[in-house]
Copies of this chain bind each other. A is one copy, B any other.
């Protein structure tokens, strides 16, 4: 790829320009707002001059609702040989785009999974997309050449391409992005008339839950509108849970302590399903590591012996998370240490040197027993 056009020099468009310019691609920047385009150019995202002929790829970084008209207009002008976009909703725009396009083979929908709460060209970063997923949603009409040009641009941005159907994409982002935004906004809206003292009790938990609610309201309105059906589907399920939970809380607030086992079960049920849901999105992708070796250590009864143990093994990357107490007796406290198998011998050595009684699963090693 030698030439590219970026239409819309906001956060995403400017970041694309910065990323591909590093690889020697000539990027032509276009925006209805001349200041935005000049700012992007001044950052080094590309040039303001119009291209002489059709560029290899045009990236349309405009809000979802403007995508179809902008694409139709630019295709009519012959801006590029292939087109993609970065809108976070794909199926409704795809229908409009395909209905309005002379040549549907030159378009492939795209959605880089990257963003910041800040918007505009000044928030752009050349490394915004590095190691992030970048979805492409080829339609039946999309040509292989178009798809390859988009894949090359993604590669130049350092992102990881993911091919999906547009409807599959929209259902997924409703769940992972759009409903979370709505939930953050619903929570943040409750704080609007919070009593002054309440803000002194606000901790990191509240800040995390509400952080994304700070995003650009107009852009998010556009996004939610374009994916309204999928978002409403997930929110209806959430509302059903909320209705059950409210019934349980109402019952619990009326009942004497411990007097509503049904209410407690409902409450615990929701919290447990939340924990299960967390694990559904975590720990995927990584291969399971080799199991750690378990070392058993018996600590004397002096206060602070466990702190001394942690200090002893800190240099081996073993922390409090790797320690499980196994019970105590008159002799002291017995704990198990989970240690990476490659370092187990070293750790054992150190423990013994520091005067701890330690053993592995297969053999017992007493203080002083190692060379």
Chain A residues with CB under 8 Å of chain B are 34-36, 38-39, 41-48, 65, 92, 96, 113-115, 118, 121-123, 132-133, 135, 162, 164, 168-169, 171-173, 175-177, 179-203, 205-214, 217-218, 220-221, 224-225, 228-229, 231-232, 234-239, 241-243, 245-246, 249-250, 252-253, 257-258, 263-264, 267-268, 270-278, 280-281, 284-285, 299, 301, 303-307, 309-310, 320-321, 323-328, 332-333, 335
Contacts and interface: CB of A to CB of B under 8 A. Distances in A.
Contacts of A39: 306, 325, 328, 333, 335
A119 B257 CA distance: 24
A69 to B, nearest CB: 10
Nearest to A218: B268
B221 A205 contact: no
24 contacts: A34-B327, A38-B325, A39-B328, A46-B303, A135-B201, A168-B197, A176-B201, A176-B206, A180-B210, A183-B187, A184-B205, A184-B274, A187-B277, A188-B275, A194-B280, A198-B281, A199-B285, A210-B277, A213-B275, A214-B275, A217-B271, A218-B268, A235-B249, A239-B243
Contacts of A320: 122-123
Contacts of A92: 257
Contacts of A270: 182, 185-186, 189
A307 B42 CA distance: 6
B96 A257 contact: yes
Chain A interface, >50% SS class: helix
Chain copies in the assembled complex: 2
B274 A213 contact: yes
Contacts of A332: 38, 42
A316 B160 CA distance: 36
Contacts of A271: 185, 213, 217, 220-221
A280 B191 contact: yes
Given A194-B175, A268-B217, A328-B34, A284 B199 contact: yes
A301 to B, nearest CB: 8
